[in-house]
Amino acid sequence: MLNDSFRFTPHITLEFKIGEKDFFIAGESASRVKKTLQQLGMKQEIIKRTAIIIYEAAMNVAIHANHGTLKVYIDPEVISIITEDKGPGIPDIELAMKEGYSTASHEVREMGFGAGMGLPNIKQCSDELDIDTKVGVGTTLKAKICLNNKV
């Protein structure tokens, strides 16, 4: 029998492969993580922020890169979202962080994507954000949401 002071602490990892122009995976990954967080009893605000980061980060990979991965780590104190892609990289991160700035193709914009809100939305929803990019190689984005020990 378990001691009453024992508390289960979930350490969950979810991983998604993202292909070039694979727009479906952005919604699918956000939906799957949202469901997992709901099952863990997370607050709605945390679920919403996490889903927005995941959707925007995955869309950026699908729109701009050749391929990449999205990993979500759920721990009792923090949710970490990491995308790694092989693609053109971001030549000017400061410019890319401005609302409305986009390098998405005309084709992608005609489909309703690439409005230039991805990185600004990620920044707004994150407690911590780090972007490491190399032009011609790819980009790694790391976003964190702190849970203050409340699951």
Angle between helices 118-125 and 44-64 (to 10 degrees): 150
DSSP assignment of 75-124 equals -SSEEEEEEEEES---S-HHHHTSTT-----HHHHHTT---S-HHHHHHH
| SS3 state at 125 | helix
**In this structure, which long-range contacts are made by residues 121-124, counting pairs with CB atoms below 8 Å and at least 24 apart in sequence?**
121/52, 121/53, 121/56, 122/52, 122/53, 122/56, 122/57, 123/97
Instruction: Give per-residue pLDDT as tens, 7-42.
Output: 445 689 999 999 988 989 888 999 999 999 999 999
Q: What superfamily in CATH does domain 12-146 come from?
A: Histidine kinase-like ATPase, C-terminal domain (3.30.565.10)
If you average pLDDT over residues 31-59, what whole number do you get?
A: 95
Residue 150, pLDDT > 50, answer: no
Residue that wins the pLDDT comparison between 38 and 111:
38
The residues spanned by each domain of the chain are 12-146
Least confident of 2-6, 16-20, 23-27, 49-53: 2-6
Instruction: Give per-residue pLDDT as tens, 126-145.
Output: 999 999 999 999 999 999 99
- Type of residue numbered 140: T
Supply the pLDDT for residue 78.
Answer: 95
If you average pLDDT over residues 46-69, what whole number do you get?
A: 95
Q: Are 100 and 116 in contact (CB under 8 A)?
A: yes
Residue 74, pLDDT > 60, answer: yes
Supply the pLDDT for residue 105.
Answer: 74
If you average pLDDT over residues 57-62, what whole number do you get?
A: 95
pTM listed for this prediction: 0.86
Length of the chain in residues, anyone?
151
